[in-house]
């Protein structure tokens, strides 16, 4: 059966790129503009830590369920970097040695200093380079300790729902389900929510919390910018695979985006219930 890639792209643009969580994320829009109360940022950081920590399970499943050695390594790059292996740029040994010597001398690893490109192959593992550890550092500013963040029990119902959808779809055994969910997640991540969080956090830092290090967020924004470049090539490859099933792919992607939306809408409702939404910036 001949397949029409152009028609498929149109569907992607409508159903994924046009999804409400991509084009109209109420929470992130509010966050970018509001005079953020300390409690609001604390709540966001906590819920973010839960989904991003539980995401590791989905990422590991994606790696296990990979259908080729190449995609196994691709999934592993993401997972290992999350866990604390710093990307190593593909450059001369001399430059690399200097970079590693620089990092080795530091007890903390600042997300603002580590590479956002390259490979974990041959990279250095550092305790302090785990993304969850960066979030713990942020949490310290709000009085949050190790046992206050990143665990399922710290998640609200909607955060846990999102994490479970990641597990079910992003980590799925079915080729079309995990590909659809993976592509949808990349589209969402590249759509600009990092930038909205960063603009809210930078203003919050300037007004209320000078010690806050927002590099966790700027690091991820930079990474997304790079992912975006390869997205359509990857999609073409997936489309050409003999296992490809457009309807299963699309359904999984939309369900994944619904899960993402549940997360942000949950945060928005929490702000509404706490009466903190009215604090628009002057
Ligand atoms: Fe991360």
Ligand 1 centroid to residue 7 C-alpha, Å: 33
Percent of the chain predicted with pLDDT > 70:
90
Q: How does DSSP assign 172-189, residue by residue?
A: -SSHHHHHHHHHHHHHHH
* CA 76 to centroid of ligand 1, rounded, Å: 13
Domain boundaries, the chain: 5-84+130-273
**Exposed e or buried b for every residue in 149-179, given b needs 16+ CB within 10 A?**
bbeeebbbebbbbbbebbbbbbbbebbbbbb
pLDDT at 110: 79
pLDDT for the residue 114: 80
Reduced to 3 states, what is the DSSP secondary structure of residue 125? Answer: strand
Which of 215, 25, 194, 38 is CA-nearest to residue 133? 215
Quick one: which H or E segment has residue 124? none
Burial 18-35 (b: 16+ CB within 10 A, else e): ebebbeebbbbebbbebe
Residue 122's pLDDT is what? 86
CATH fold for the domain made of 5-84+130-273:
Heme Oxygenase; Chain A (1.20.910)
Section 28-54 average pLDDT: 97
Q: Dig out the tokens for 96 from the structure.
A: 């690399």
**Distance, CA of 249 to CA of 84 (rounded, Å):** 31
The answer to whether residues 272 and 279 touch, using CB atoms and an 8 Å cutoff, is no
Q: What is the pLDDT of residue 103?
A: 63
The set of residues, in sequence order, having a beta carbon less than 8 Å from that of 46 and lying 6+ positions away, is 139, 144, 148, 149, 154
- For position 224, what pLDDT does the model report? 81
Give CA angle at 182 (213, 256), nearest 5°: 90
In the predicted model, is pLDDT for residue 148 greater than 80?
yes
Longest dimension (CA), the chain: 60
Average pLDDT over residues 27-53: 97
| pLDDT-above-90 percentage for the chain | 69
Q: Calculate how far, in angstroms, residue 221's C-alpha sits from the geometric centre of ligand 1.
A: 10
* Cα of 3 from ligand 1 centre, angstroms: 35
Q: How far is the CA of 252 from the centre of ligand 1 (A)?
A: 22
Q: How far apart are CA 210 and CA 207, in angstroms?
A: 7
Query: What mean pLDDT is predicted for residues 161-165?
Result: 98
Tell me how far the alpha carbon of residue 68 lies from the centroid of ligand 1, in angstroms.
24
How many whole angstroms from 37 Cα to the centroid of ligand 1?
Answer: 25
Q: Which tens digit of pLDDT belongs to each residue from 68-109? A: 999 899 899 999 999 999 888 775 555 566 666 666 655 567
Q: Rounded to the nearest whole angstrom, what is the distance from the C-alpha of residue 210 to the centroid of ligand 1?
A: 23
**Chain position carrying tokens 């206050």:** 148
**Residue 281 — pLDDT band, cuts 50, 70, 90?**
very low
pTM score above 0.85: yes
Instruction: Calculate mean pLDDT across residues 125-143.
Output: 95
- Predicted local confidence at residue 282, as pLDDT: 40
Between 113 and 150, whose confidence is greater? 150
């Amino acid at each position: 059966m001949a397949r029409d890639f152009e028609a498929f792209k149109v569907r992607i643009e409508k159903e994924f790129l046009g999804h409400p969580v991509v084009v109209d994320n109420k929470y992130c829009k509010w966050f970018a503009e509001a005079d953020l109360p300390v409690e609001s940022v604390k709540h966001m950081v906590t819920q973010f830590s839960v989904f991003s920590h539980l995401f590791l399970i989905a990422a590991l499943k994606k790696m296990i369920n990979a259908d080729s050695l190449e995609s196994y390594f691709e999934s592993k790059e993401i997972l290992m970097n999350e866990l604390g292996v710093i990307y190593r740029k593909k450059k001369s040994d001399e430059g690399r040695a200097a970079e590693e010597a620089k990092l080795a001398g530091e007890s903390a690893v600042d997300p603002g200093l580590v590479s956002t490109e390259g490979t974990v192959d041959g990279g250095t593992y550092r305790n302090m380079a785990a993304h969850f550890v960066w979030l713990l550092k942020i949490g310290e500013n709000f009085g949050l300790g190790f046992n206050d963040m990143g665990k399922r029990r710290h998640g609200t119902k909607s955060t846990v729902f999102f994490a479970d959808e990641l597990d079910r779809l992003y980590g799925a055994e079915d080729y079309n389900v995990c590909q659809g969910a993976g592509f949808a997640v990349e589209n969402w991540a590249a759509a600009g929510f990092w930038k909205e969080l960063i603009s809210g956090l930078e203003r919050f830092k300037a007004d209320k919390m000078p010690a806050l290090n927002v590099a966790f967020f700027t690091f991820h924004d930079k990474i997304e910018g790079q992912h975006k470049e390869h997205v359509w090539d990857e999609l073409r490859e997936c489309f050409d695979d003999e296992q490809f099933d457009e309807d299963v792919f699309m359904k999984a992607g939309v369900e994944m985006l619904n899960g993402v939306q549940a997360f942000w809408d949950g945060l928005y409702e929490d702000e509404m219930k706490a009466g903190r939404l009215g604090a628009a910036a002057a």
